[in-house]
Homo-oligomer: A and B are copies of this chain.
Amino acid sequence: MKLDGMIEGILFAMGSSVSKKELAEALDVQEKEIEEAADALEARLASEESGITLLRLDDRLQLGSRKECYDALIKLASHARKPVLTNAVRETLAIIAYKQPVTKAEIAKIRGVNSDHAVNRLVEYRLVTEAGRLEAPGRPILFGTTEEFLRHFALSSTDDLPDISAEKLAEFTEEAEAESTEVEV
């Protein structure tokens, strides 16, 4: 293999930039030869429309991908980063929808686990947004649902959310009490 090919392979595997001096030592040639081979490599990559290009950073060399590839890369990346609705996020959304405006602390208390991450996700997805501050020590942020949330569920207001009936709530309480007496120690 010729020197330009060797440089290409080395820069490829290293990933980072490598100084001409280091290349000369590794390949056991003069720095001047590295310089010439780098020119040849650069010209070759350009002429054959390679998707890789040679970057020169002072006396260091590095390979990089060409700008023309970015759009395709973004498509690949966005595929990999498609958001998913986990159970934690769903539950958090349900709590915010019914209990809004509500603080992160309250959500955590209801779910029994820290839910900051889930709340942040929902804000990022624009399903949830800040809705003022609670007048309490530390003035914690209150969260509520967004217009996008209403639009998705074709609701004109959060008042239109299906009711949690009083009976249903009472039922829960009874059940829970029955269970708690059963397990009495």
Contacts and interface: CB of A to CB of B under 8 A. Distances in A.
B73 A10 contact: yes
23 contacts: A1-B68, A5-B66, A6-B69, A8-B50, A8-B51, A9-B51, A9-B52, A9-B68, A9-B73, A10-B76, A11-B51, A13-B77, A13-B79, A14-B76, A14-B77, A22-B76, A22-B79, A23-B76, A26-B73, A26-B75, A26-B76, A44-B48, A48-B48
B6 A51 contact: yes
B9 A66 contact: yes
A51 B14 CA distance: 12
A51 B6 CA distance: 5
Interface string A2-42: 10011111111111001000110111000000000000000
B13 A69 contact: yes
Interface string A39-80: 000001000111110000000000111101100110111010
Main secondary structure of the interface of A (DSSP, over half): helix
Interface string A97-123: 000000000000000000000000000
A9 B77 CA distance: 13
Interface of A: 1-2, 5-15, 18, 22-23, 25-27, 44, 48-52, 63-66, 68-69, 72-73, 75-77, 79
A72 B11 CA distance: 11
Given A69-B6, A79-B22, A63 B14 contact: no
B73 A13 contact: yes
A76 B6 contact: no
Contacts of A26: 72-73, 75-76, 79
Sort A-B residue pairs by CB-CB distance and give the 8 closest, nearest first.
Answer: A9-B51, A9-B69, A8-B51, A9-B65, A13-B65, A26-B75, A5-B51, A26-B72
